[in-house]
Structure 1
Amino acid sequence: MGLTQTYTVERREGCLAFTTLVHWTKKDADGVVETASAAFNVFVETKTVNTATFTERMSIVPVDMDVALGAVSLDYWDTPCTPDCDATYTTNWSDATWTGLLDRHWASATKANTWTAPTTGTSQKFDRGVFLSFKSDSPEWQSLIPVDKPEISLFNQVRCDNVALVQN
């Protein structure tokens, strides 16, 4: 169905690739539990731009989706950068709605992250996380929040430094 989770890190860039499964659950009038799900391949590319800035580009494509969900959209993407870091979306999501199982287009967005407290001769590692939420437009599923939301936490995975001059 999808990818095995992989993560690579080099001096100036990193790549995280994984498949996530999102479930919606509800009970009908008789108490019978129904579920629907969608699976997505997710790629997060991180690149250090200079000593105090790094960018992230996330790309998503569906690999499986229950027809009952109708169109499924990315509801939010949060990749907190802590501590001492500000994030700014530099490009918004391209079309992050998929209309069904045969709709396999890629959606992507970019963020810039800036170290807010650089001091000459120092470096700082930043904790990273990927938090996603999706929503369905089907009348029977649209008011429900998925029971599991994709989350991945990466601790001390990005380092900004103000120690050495290294060309970009």
Structure 2
Amino acid sequence: MTFWPLTSIWRLFARRPELSIPAPIWSDLLNGLRARGRDIRESGAFLLGPPGQPRRVSAIVFYDEIDPHAFDTGIIVIDGACMADLWAICRRSGLAVIADVHTHPGGAGQSESDRRHPMIAEPGHVAMIIPDFAADPVQLKAVGLYRYRGNFSWDRITPRFLRSSLKIELA
């Protein structure tokens, strides 16, 4: 009988998380969302990384960095003309938008507005919702991840056996 160490089994059979974020970027993201939302309104950002899979975040572009009025109404509204600035950032950096993130005052479920107005309306795009305006401490299991299927249809991304959906990289 052969026994395999758990780490070997993990490497062979575990699937990569849907979204991976280095701890310093995760910290910057949460701090930026909190500063912009001030516990009273939604805030959000685009998450950039190398194109393709796996989705590993390497940069953040907060919505108000491309549209200074994105948070003025208490909900997120981005002027479509401002998206050209995002695409310019992507071209300059060689990165792509691999996900978007925004906060909610309560849980991390998608609102009807979230479903009907994807930030990036491309099938396969990932949207993350952080509950409680990203108040400290953020519990990863409470964060919502959703994959856009197209035609205003989404799948909730949930952890599976030997696979987390969101990973914060500590090292």
Q: With structure 1 as the length reference, what TM-score do the two structures score? A: 0.28
Higher relative contact order (CA 8 A, sep 6+): 2
Q: With structure 2 as the length reference, what TM-score do the two structures score? A: 0.27
- Greater strand share, structure number: 1
Give the number of the structure whose alpha-carbon radius of gyration is greater: 1
- Greater helix share, structure number: 2
